[in-house]
Chain A
Amino acid sequence: MLNILKNRFEQGYRTSRYPKEKIEPTSRYRGLPKINSEAPSDMVMQCADACPQNAIDPQNKMIDMGRCVFCGTCERLSEGRFVSFSRNFELAVSMKENLLTDGSLPALSLHARQNFKSLFGRSLQLRQISAAGCNACEADLNVLATPFFDMARFGINFVASPRHADGIVVTGPISRNMKTALLKTYEAVPSPKVVIAAGSCSLTGGPFRGSPEVSPGLDSLLPVDLFIPGCPPHPLTYLHALLTYFK
């Protein structure tokens, strides 16, 4: 017993005060890209060529955050003069076309569906479905339940049964072998329901795009309400998306 109390004392209180207080991931974290539209076109071309995800549109000098895995290659190659990544983790969008960005994003809260706010603002129960996710997206969703992020204090929880859920959060590029299970789980959620695509894989196939065993993105199968970029998205990116869209 004494041991339990000693440990309790040592561990202290750890829950973050976000969103009441601002919080910033460490300096190397790569969040919302800043794009210099004045960058010379050969530099832009070089970055577009090197980008493993072909996420850079060199003509319009934009980045497709649906494809981008935030590997940092373009930032390194251009030494920050074409692309540099900010520490802003607020990346989610509600319309797929907004994933293609010049470095600015529309305010998510303005795009949130108002009936979702009134329906789910006080309580949001989500069923997570991993459909060939690599486990990193899943892991960083899971940590939302640990003391630091403690998502339950906002009335948001992951539930075991789709019948108890208000919506689904899908990770992974939706493999051929998971497609039916995913669709069945979706059907089992009562309407009205929310569909959230989390991570580059579920947005566009991510690193696996082009493989005949995966889909080109969740929106090819279901209507998606919220797109959360990253590989994986930082837990704060998830948290911001959920709080802004539903609260």
Chain B
Amino acid sequence: MKSEFKQIANGKAIARDIIPHLAFDEFTHEVLTIVGEGGKIVQYFAYADGSAVNLLAVLRTDKRLLAAGCDVPKNYPAFSAQYEPFHLFEREIAEQFGIRPEGHPWLKMVRYHANSRGVSDVFGNNYSQDIPGNYNYYSVEGRDIHEVAVGPVHAGVIEPGHFRFNCIGERVLHLEIQLGYQHRGVEDLLCNADVKRLPVITEGIAGDTAIGNSLCMAQAFEGLAYMRPDAGARIIRTIALELERIANHLGDLGALSGDVAFLPVANYCGRMRGDFLNMTLLLCGNRFGKGLVRPGGVCFPLTDENRKTITERINELKPQVEHVIGLLFSTHSVLSRFEKCGTVSRLDAEKLGLVGPAARACGISYDARRSFPSEHYRLLDINENVEFTGDVYARAKLRADEILQSISIIQSLLKNHIKTECVVRGSIHPAPSSLVVTINEAWRGELSHCVLTDAAGRILRYKIKDPSFHNWNGLAMALRDTGISDFPLNNKSFNLSYCGFDL
């Protein structure tokens, strides 16, 4: 297929003037053709350049990344009218830049904040009022319908968000998820703050994905400065990302087990998750990996002594993890709750554009580590992980498989001496008038940062896309026709990010 879109590479900067700037009609035609043929959206956002406002789309097909931009036309017809995956991206564009997508099927705010251009608000909100402002939640009518509203402050120690269930008896007809409570203005802050703050800010986008986000950030500025971290740093960063995956998956398996009242596994997983976080602590002095990754490499070496300690701990833990997973998946009372609960069909998953384990549980095998390998992944053979039932069981099983796989990856990477020149500060000197897109398979799925610089090498736009941006609607779909008491279970099986979404 010949496309007007320009093929780009993950993490490689290119001059902005090489990115095709199409007429809007042509842009629409190209975007809809690529997506119509199965292409997916990696990034789609607006940015201001001087007085002009432009759109930029980064799409992916099998193993190719494609980018092109256009001016915003006076009248912007919503792509979501044809393809669902645009739905949130277009709402975000409307909220951030006051561009109304005409014919959008469900035009509501995303994070509840005023647009950055100071133009009239698409949603008619007055932001001195509290969220949700001028918006009435979707409601189902009928005599026996009742609504359940949960949050923003939840019962547990977790982040805030609002869930609105329309139920008939115990059965959920519709779940509406309203986020935005965690909005900290991260993207704007990244453009305006002193560049020395960028690593620390990106590590705070989502603490459970501190490595994922700091990798995306570091790779972006390495791309923009045409530098490459040494092989040792790439290995350490790969180990850190896999440790992050293990800790989160393991924690969630424990939480899932706790939700079906099987407490042994809940407790064992909670404890073992801590052991993996402590390995990250050993790497860099922070249990979440904050402070490890900086543009140019890593700040801490992995000495032979550390290597030995981590190897020993993993060797000791691996059989325990295997046994606990075995116990979880051989317990009938667990399986009877997991199986056929919260099923998302492959068709729906495709239509919504799900990514990560949530998509792999529905038979969509996409894994950025295989398709767009960064760091040491180029040299690794990552298994294709898929399950096909799309239910809680599939999401849990997939995560269990990934835990064991990540353990093997780390074990193999720890076999040899790792040599790296540590970064002291991590300088940020981006090339002017450039664009870079970075993609990593974080534990929730495809995570991507995109940075545009201006003619002076300042950051013009910093765009972040958490995998949860694709996946929250998957959770809403899973709940359709499911008992409301199964919500916690489904929620855990996805465990999506509030702050990563809210930015």
A and B pair up: yes
- Mark A residues whose CB is within 8 Å of B: 3-4, 6-8, 10-11, 14, 25-26, 28-30, 50-53, 69-73, 76-77, 85, 128-143, 145-148, 158, 160-161, 172-173, 175-178, 180-181, 185, 201, 206-208, 210-214, 231-232, 234
Segment touching A, from B62-70, B139-147, B196-204:
B196-204
CA distance A137 to B204 in the complex (A): 10
Residues of chain B contacted by A180 (CB below 8 angstroms) = 130
Q: Is B3 an interface residue (CB 8 A)?
A: no
Q: How far is the CA of A6 from the CA of B324 in the complex (A)?
A: 10
Binding site for A on B (CB under 8 A): 111-113, 127, 130-131, 152-153, 155-160, 180-186, 188-189, 193-194, 196-197, 199-201, 203-208, 210, 251, 264, 267-268, 270-271, 273-274, 278, 281-288, 290-291, 299-300, 319-320, 323-324, 326-327, 330, 422, 424-425, 497-499, 502
Closest to B113 in A: A213
Q: Provide the residues of chain B in CB contact with A53, threshold 8 Å.
A: 197, 200
> Do B183 and A160 touch across chains, with their CB atoms under 8 A apart?
no
The answer for the CA separation of A44 and B324 in the assembled complex, in Å, is 50
Q: Smallest distance from the beta carbon of A183 to chain B beta carbons, Å?
A: 11
Q: Which residues of A contact B286 (CB under 8 A)?
A: 30, 70, 231
Return the chain A residue nearest B426 by Cβ.
Answer: A73
**CB-CB < 8 A to A232: which residues of B?**
207, 287-288
Closest Cβ neighbor of A69 among chain B residues: B200
Residue of A nearest to B291 (CB): A71
Cα A85 to Cα B499 in complex, Å, equals 29
In the bound complex, residues from chain B placing their C-beta under 8 Å from that of A3 are: 326-327, 330
CB contact under 8 A between A178 and B324, given known A28-B282, A73-B425: no
Q: A3-B330, A71-B200 are in contact. Are A176 and B264 (CB under 8 A)?
A: no
- A206 x B204 contact (CB < 8 A): yes
Contact among B181, B287, B323 for A10, CB-based, below 8 A: B323
**Would you give the shortest CB distance from A10 to chain B, in whole angstroms?**
6
Instruction: Establish whether residues A177 and B112, one from each chain, have CB atoms under 8 Å apart when the complex forms.
Output: yes
In the complex, the answer to whether B181 meets A178 with C-beta atoms within 8 Å is yes
Query: A86: shortest Cβ distance to chain B, in Å?
Result: 12
* B285/A72 in contact, CB under 8 A: yes
Which of A143, A175, A212 lies at the interface centre, i.e. has the most chain B CB atoms within 10 A of its CB? Answer: A175
> With contacts A7-B323, A132-B499 known, is A138 near B199, CB below 8 A?
no
**Residues on B with beta carbons closer than 8 Å to the beta carbon of A50:** 196, 425
CA distance A130 to B206 in the complex (A): 13
A142 to B185, CA, bound (A): 26
Which of B111, B153, B210, B291 is A70 in contact with, Cβ under 8 Å? B291
Q: B264 near A4 (CB under 8 angstroms)?
A: yes
Which residues from A are CB-within-8-Å of B193? 210
A25, A138, A140, A176 interface centre (most CB from chain B within 10 Å): A176
| CB-CB nearest in chain A for B197 | A52
Chain A nearest CB, measured from B362 CB (Å): 25
Q: A4-B264, A213-B185 are in contact. Are A139 and B207 (CB under 8 A)?
A: yes
**Cα distance A8–B271 in the bound complex, in angstroms:** 13
Q: Provided the pairs A178-B152, A180-B130 are in contact, do residues A76 and B159 lie with their beta carbons within 8 angstroms?
A: no
B499 contacts which chain A residues (CB < 8 A)?
A: 132-135
Shortest A159–chain B CB gap in Å is: 9
B110 to chain A, nearest CB (A): 12
A213 close to B207 (CB less than 8 A): no
